[in-house]
Chain A
């Protein structure tokens, strides 16, 4: 596989559930990102990891917990979500997070529905 792969593609979860989103990149990049894309709203950057270290958390609620075990994998652990968290969650990667964020490659996203 090439590029940025996200699993699952679709996820429906209850507000009391715990689930995880997975992202894997095969591009040899060193930076990975989580974005949230809600209908009719601008893309929102959630977290930035550069060389496995979290360098940015854009005031994301603690019910979203990222994990980056290595430069190729990124997870987003979800627990006690709210219906307003329903959105498309996009993972992206770039060569590094130093001025390259705009050139990131995106995965296809996980469509999350919280019921």
Chain B
């Protein structure tokens, strides 16, 4: 049973465009939602995370938007660059354990020059 549904599975964006990746989660008692970036041949790296006492968090060109009532959150990459080409995946806390996460299945982003 997939606890975090991530879409799309793959995404092609032109340089300078906006990349949008969406995640939907099920019930959780905790509020910490990270996004990871993984380049080919590398391990994942924490990119940005949000605690939904706010509906949006921005770090440079990366923004997380959070909709608590809809149990959805999304990653927006503004002014997408070829160097952003990577796999991105989201995570949401498991039910009643703040230290366990369900991961999304990943979105492979390809930014065309």
B43 touches A106 (CB 8 A): yes
Where chain A touches its partner, the secondary structure class is loop
Interface residues of A in 2-55 (CB under 8 A from B): 4, 40-45
Bound Cα distance A40, B105 (Å): 6
- Which chain B positions have C-beta within 8 A of A90? 43-44
A108 touches B41 (CB 8 A): yes
Residue of B32, B41, B45, B99 with most partner-chain A CB within 10 A: B99
Q: How many contacts between A and B, using CB within 8 angstroms?
A: 49
Known interface pairs A99-B99, A107-B43, A109-B43. Does A42 touch B34 (Cβ–Cβ under 8 Å)? Answer: no
A42 touches B100 (CB 8 A): no
User: Does A74 lie at the interface of the complex (its beta carbon under 8 Å from any beta carbon of B)?
Assistant: no
- What is the total number of residues of chain B having a CB less than 8 Å from a CB of chain A? 23
- Which chain A positions have C-beta within 8 A of B100? 45, 101
Bound Cα distance A103, B49 (Å): 9
Where chain B touches its partner, the secondary structure class is strand
Bound Cα distance A41, B4 (Å): 11
Residue of B44, B101, B104 with most partner-chain A CB within 10 A: B44
Per-position binary interface string of chain B over residues 82-112, scored 1 when its CB falls under 8 Å from any chain A CB and 0 otherwise:
0000000101000000111111111000000
Of all chain B residues, the one with the shortest Cβ separation from A109 is B43
B2 touches A99 (CB 8 A): no
User: Does B12 lie at the interface of the complex (its beta carbon under 8 Å from any beta carbon of A)?
Assistant: no
Q: A41-B105, A106-B44 are in contact. List 7 more A-B contacts (CB 8 A).
A: A42-B2, A45-B101, A90-B44, A97-B99, A101-B99, A106-B43, A108-B42
- Seen from chain A, the residues whose Cβ lies within 8 Å of a Cβ on chain B are 4, 40-45, 90, 92, 97-109
26 contacting pairs across A/B (C-beta < 8 A): A4-B43, A40-B105, A40-B106, A41-B105, A42-B4, A42-B105, A42-B106, A43-B44, A43-B89, A45-B100, A45-B101, A90-B43, A90-B44, A92-B43, A98-B99, A99-B98, A100-B99, A101-B99, A101-B100, A101-B101, A102-B49, A102-B101, A106-B43, A106-B44, A106-B45, A108-B42
